[in-house]
Amino acid sequence: MEAWTLEMSVADLFVDFTVISVLLLVATLLRRYVTFFQRFLIPNSLIAGFLGLFLGAQVLDWVPFDADRMGAWVYHLLALTFICVGLYRTSNEHSRGAINLGFMQVAVMLIQGIIGLSIALLTAITLVPDLNPATGILLPLGYAMGPGIAYAIGQSWASFGFEGGGSVGLTVAAIGFLIAYFFGMILVNRAVGSDATRSAIPEYVRTGLRGVDDSIEGARLTFSGAAVEPLSVHLALVGGIYLLTWLVTMGLGELLLIGGLEKEIPVLWSFHFIIANLLAIFTRKVVLRGKRGEWIDDGMVHRVTGTFADYLIAASIMGISLAFAWRFVIPLLLICALGAWLTFLFVRWSCWKLFSLHRFERFIGMFAQMTGTIASGLALLRVTDPEYRSPVAQELVLSSGMAMGFGFPLLILINMPFTMFDGSLYGFSFLLALMAGYLIVLLTAWAIYWKRSSAVSTD
């Protein structure tokens, strides 16, 4: 059943919430006291997710939760996270470094898509006929775009015959997280040395627990507690925008149905997070513009975003179908391994070609981000740049917005084999050619920009 139609009882909702919450608490203790997790900076949400996967019905069957419901959590939390992102105050200033990293992100997405689809097509034609070639398309979704998008789009393909697409997307994303942190930390240790790395990481970063001296203010109280809790108002705003998102998506679905385009409805629902983001941006810049929106506190929005992201990542790991992943384990591992290796080579070459300063910082941040999430990139960047004194952290954040714009055509293209070619091999081959063509156009535009901006001598 699709995530947007899956029904949960109130009991299911609270059981799932408490299970994920307890796992996050246990993961927090493990990060605090287990050296292994500290050495590789494994996030608590990732620890909680794998702990839940191990304790759940697919392995030990000690913890009560349903993988399909975890997928629904991922689907809805994705939209809520994008609403929060749309509520941020944003700057229109983009440095040359951020623009170059934005081009790099989209190029990596296309390279991952090309190599993933090529391997999946070849495998489906020769060795494993029942492997859906769309498995390869999930590589850039799981690696570069994150588990939420990988699940939402992969799940929408179930109506086209790709059963388990959402779970495959979560599996790819989980492998990407492991590569980002484990292989990423190996690269950092090799570059600066294990002893230097350990001494550079602040204690609170390693253990995940801030002491009294390390604590910082996370948000401002923009409402009087005698009237209403400020967090409640911010959550209410997010909830109101999500309700509007749901109504708009339902309305668009009705229009597609009237127009005889019912096949496009699952694709529409898989993009509901983009509708959510656009409505949040509209709310922030138009409805709550100027003094009307002074009560929105960026610190509070960041805290809410981080909370949603923690639950999303934990649920994404717990929603993996081990049986489906094991069935196609060899092609899946081949796609993920080769995709990670080419990502490593391209990002390293690009950073050393484009920049004269902060090469390794840009490389490790971008590599971790393009196999994990932006949080992964910032976490590993902090090892070599503990105080974020370089401009790289800001560049990673700004470049992500640019990459979202340039990468949107890819999200449209990847549905073509299903919506236009009924999932035929010819349709996937046509998509492969389109991605290659888009990559050539993007690299050409990037080369022109780089020459005009003289990025090598200024960044």
**Better-scored residue on pLDDT, 26 or 388:** 26
Cβ neighbour number for residue 306 with a 10 Å cutoff:
15
Can you tell me which residue has the tokens 């138009």? Answer: 286
What number is the average pLDDT over the span 251-276?
90
- Find the DSSP H helices in 40-161: 44-55, 67-86, 96-126, 134-140, 147-156
Which band of pLDDT confidence, cut at 50, 70 and 90, is reported for residue 289?
A: confident
pLDDT for position 260: 85
pTM above 0.95, yes or no: no
Q: What is the pLDDT of residues 53-69, one digit of tens each?
A: 999 989 999 998 898 89
What number is the average pLDDT over the span 375-385?
86
Tokens, residue 178: 């492991």
Cβ neighbour number for residue 324 with a 10 Å cutoff:
17
Q: Is the model's pLDDT at 457 over the cut of 70?
A: no
Cβ neighbour number for residue 91 with a 10 Å cutoff:
10
Q: Is the model's pLDDT at 263 over the cut of 50?
A: yes
Can you tell me which residue has the tokens 């050539």? Answer: 440
Can you tell me which residue has the tokens 């993988």? Answer: 67
pLDDT for position 400: 83
Residue 358: DSSP 8-state: S
Residues 438, 442, 443, CA angle at the centre, nearest 5°?
120
Which band of pLDDT confidence, cut at 50, 70 and 90, is reported for residue 412?
A: confident
Q: What is the pLDDT of residues 71-129, one digit of tens each?
A: 999 999 999 999 998 998 766 556 788 899 999 999 999 999 999 999 999 999 998 89
Tokens, residue 337: 């391994």
**Better-scored residue on pLDDT, 416 or 408:** 416
CA dist 287 and 152 (Å) reads: 29
**Better-scored residue on pLDDT, 340 or 90:** 340
Cβ neighbour number for residue 103 with a 10 Å cutoff:
23
Q: Is the model's pLDDT at 158 over the cut of 60?
A: yes
